[in-house]
Amino acid sequence: MSYFVNEKGYYGDFGGAYIPEMLYPNVEELRNSYLKIIADENFQKEFHELLKDYVGRPSPLYLAKRLSQKYNANIFLKREDLNHTGAHKINNTIGQILLAERLGKKRIIAETGAGQHGVATATVCALRGLECVVYMGEIDIKRQAPNVARMKMLGAKVVPATSGSKTLKDATNEAMRDWINNPVDTHYIIGSVVGPHPYPDMVAIFQSIISEETKKQLLEQTGSDQPDYVLACVGGGSNAMGMFYHFLADEKVKLVAVEAAGKGVDSGHSAATTALGKEGVLHGSRSILMQTPDGQVVEPYSVSAGLDYPGIGPQHAHLFKSGRGEYVSVTDDESLQAGLLLTQLEGIIPAIESAHALAYLEKMKFTSHENVVVCLSGRGDKDMDTYMKYFDL
């Protein structure tokens, strides 16, 4: 079975480009050019130079010894938190800004939840001198204030999304509306492996650097480039897809995707998409999403703004349905505790998103000496307010 996109833009039953005609020329332009542009030698050179000298790649693969002892396995952390701007999101925005330049676009728009993708977009726009507008849910603007300030300082205009649940889903709607109204000079940098084809594939390609490096680093450190398990959290699914990408074809490597259960899968306050969702169309692709029987999108909930999204990317829907990936979830409480545990055992404060992946270690049974890679997608600076309130620090 293929886990990659086919020529029609589908992964099994999922994907496609369910967009209004107003977006068709833009999406078609991307579809026709993205692979050619990315494969270009000059693009590759510039992309890899920036990843190295600006982002600080390769990010370390760190064997977390005290965590390994606790769980009786070799636990490696892929340190995306050490990237410039503090998360994996910048791998994608570097790629897309270079692509936007080659398409002759002058104006960049983006949506953001936690603010990490917004910051990563504002950063590359400052770097390349392009106009930047970031849509962010009104509620997220309040709970991620430091990132809002960073975006503003970087010169981006932050526009509150005031419709619907006022979170990531609505910010995405507003960004799409902006793109409809600015069809010629604007490029939309989507922040995850969601949206109409070719976005899920394009973002996955840019994030695949995570597993590309991991394989090399594992080989150096363990003598084998094949781990037993790979874990990552899933909002839309970009850090997970980057972490899974070069392991997809190797069925011996078990892929574990951790969703946000919020206050519990059945609590009515959750973002566990595969547990609660059904097949449908959201933001331009056919995937799995949380919805009412009438097909209205349900407002998700998670303590973590980056995972507070009612869908997952179409490639994840395919991995889930085909059984290639195991899709699980952990609650707010479990992830905050896992965040504290990592901090105290290893001296690393993780983003609450990434803490979801760590929290699932608690529920796994290892038979010792298994090699486990966890994608530490981001650092916890932006979440200090939440940690402080929760742990009364």
Partner 1 sequence: MNRINKLFQEKKNILSIYYTAGYPGLNDTLKIAEELELAGADLLEIGFPYSDPVADGPVIQASSKEALDAGMTLQLLFGQLKELRKTVNIPVLLMGYVNPMLQYGVDNFCKSCAEVGVDGCIVPDLPMVEYEELYMDVFKKHGLTNIFLVTPQTSDERIRKIDGLTTGFIYLLSSSATTGQNLQVSDQTEAYFSRIAAMKLDHPTMIGFGISSGETFDKACKFANGGIIGSAFVKSLDPQDLKGSVHRFVEKIRG
Ligand X SMILES: Cc1ncc(COP(=O)(O)O)c(C=O)c1O
| Residues 192 and 226 sit within 8 Å (Cβ to Cβ) | no
Task: Identify the bridge partners of residue 311 per DSSP, sorted by sequence position.
Answer: 289
Q: Is 242 in the site for partner 1 (CB under 8 A)?
A: no
User: Which of partner 1, ligand X, none is residue 144 near (CB under 5 to 8 Å by kind)?
Assistant: none
Residue closest to ligand X, measured at CB: 378
> Is 302 a residue of the active site?
no
Residue 295 binding result from ligand X, partner 1, none, given CB thresholds of 5 to 8 Å by partner type = partner 1
| Cα–Cα distance list, 7 to 12, 31, 264 (Å) | 12, 10, 39
- Regarding 277 and contact with partner 1 (CB under 8 A), the answer is no
- From the list ligand X, partner 1, none, which binds 238 (C-beta under 5 to 8 Å, kind-based)? ligand X
- Quick check: 104 binds partner 1 (CB under 8 A)? no
**Can you say how many angstroms the Cα of residue 225 is from the centroid of all Cα atoms in its chain?**
23
Q: Is 89 a catalytic residue?
A: yes
The distance of closest approach from Cβ of residue 237 to ligand X in the complex, given in angstroms and rounded to an integer, is 5
198 binds partner 1 (CB under 8 A): no
Binding partner 1 (rule: CB under 8 A), the pick from 74, 121, 274, 291 is 291
Q: Which of 103, 153, 184, 384 is close enough to bind partner 1 by CB under 8 A? A: 184
Please, are residues 275 and 314 in contact by the beta-carbon 8 Å criterion? no
Is residue 268 within the footprint of partner 1 (CB under 8 A)?
no
Q: How far is the CB of 313 from ligand X (least distance, A)?
A: 8
Name the binder of 354 from ligand X, partner 1, none, CB < 5-8 A by kind.
ligand X
**Among 80, 111, 334, 353, which one carries the catalytic annotation?**
111
> Considering the rule CB under 8 A, would residue 386 count as an interface residue with partner 1?
no
CB of 234 to ligand X, least distance (A): 5
131 alpha-carbon distance from chain centroid:
23
Query: Is there binding between residue 12 and partner 1 (CB under 8 A)?
Result: no
19 makes contact, choosing from partner 1, ligand X, none, with CB < 5 to 8 Å by partner type, with partner 1
With contacts defined by CB under 8 A, name the span among 169-177, 246-254, 344-352, 353-361 that binds partner 1: 169-177
210 contributes a contact to partner 1 by CB under 8 A: no
> 165 Cβ partners below 8 Å, 6+ apart?
137, 139, 299, 300
Nearest to 240 by CA among 193, 275, 282, 278: 193
Examine residue 7 and tell whether it contacts partner 1 (CB under 8 A): no
Q: Which stretch binds partner 1 (CB under 8 A): 38-46, 77-85, 163-171, 383-391?
A: 163-171
CB of 367 to ligand X, least distance (A): 29
345 binds partner 1, rule: CB under 8 A = no
> Which of ligand X, partner 1, none binds 87 (CB below 5-8 Å, type-dependent)?
ligand X
- In the bound state with partner 1, the residue whose beta carbon lies nearer, of 296 and 367, is 296
**Catalytic entry in 59, 68, 78, 89:** 89
Please state the closest distance from residue 359 (CB atom) to partner 1, in A. Answer: 30
Residue 346 annotated to the active site? no
Catalytic (active-site) positions: 89, 111, 377
Instruction: Note the residues at the interface with partner 1 (CB under 8 A).
Output: 8, 16-22, 24-25, 163-164, 169-170, 173, 176-177, 180-181, 183-184, 278-284, 291, 293-297
